[in-house]
Structure 1
Amino acid sequence: MEVENSTKTGHCEIQLPVRSPEFDELVVGFDDEAQNIIDRLTRGSKNLDVVSILGMAGLGKTTLAKKVYRHHSILHYFHARSWCTISQVYNKKSSLLEILNSLESGCDKNMLDLMSTDDLANVLRKSLKGKKYLIILDDVWDIEVEQFEKFIPK
């Protein structure tokens, strides 16, 4: 596994190695990679931390992210957690709705459906302000993290 820190504070990328099909069948867990990510996320930083898991299709990026998301340390450390699948076509409004619905923001789902993208972003910011939160963006194809960061509190 390769871990790279960019010049941007709090951003790191984890590159999963390409593995042969024979080796993939033997892999049970990603324990070291998961612990590395958990340590980065729970180190107590006051800054917004972004951890990217990169690799070819089928290497287990989603499996690794789920392992981290469900880990007991993560469950106890973060006040709010959300999982959002982006896929090939990024839609800001549907992504914000998916995140807000999984966060149980206290807003009625039907009311959220009627809101504009800007209003949804404001509700998300208010829901997360002052909290430690983890948002997993899965299956990202071409969204830049910076595009999404404007929707969440720093």
Structure 2
Amino acid sequence: MRKTIFICSLLALLLGQASQAKASEQGDWTHFLTDPRFMPAIKSCLAAHPKGDGPAVVMSVGHASRDEVSVMTTDLSGSRNGCSASKDTGLLIQSRTVFDLPGPLFVSVDQVAVAPKGECIESTPVFAGQQLRGWLLRQPVLHHDIPSACSTPIWTGL
């Protein structure tokens, strides 16, 4: 009887650990919401979200480093903001609007008079006949295996 109880308890413990590991592999960040060290940073990042449609909400939370929290927020307009803040104090370290569409993107000459330029933007003119219609924008691929400043979509310069 004791062996059966012991084996059942051990099995329950192992299954619980396996389900927790599976949840963390699938990107379940919600367990950070119950950690009191994360809440100051989460509150700071929610406050740092640019004013948009409706309230800012948290999309994900994670470790940025040993002492920093990484938080992604959004609002009803779909605008996203990437933020990092101190775990214990909530001191804001970085906050920026995230626009990471992979491209290519088209911008009309009616909206922008000159080709957009940026560290991670390649502009190719689009013509219809002899008339300039706009520019096709792409992110440059520098080296597929080596991370660079342009490894993820960055559209600063638009």
Per the normalisation by structure 2, the TM-score is 0.26
Per the normalisation by structure 1, the TM-score is 0.27
Instruction: Return the structure number with greater strand share.
Output: 2
Instruction: Return the structure number with greater helix share.
Output: 1
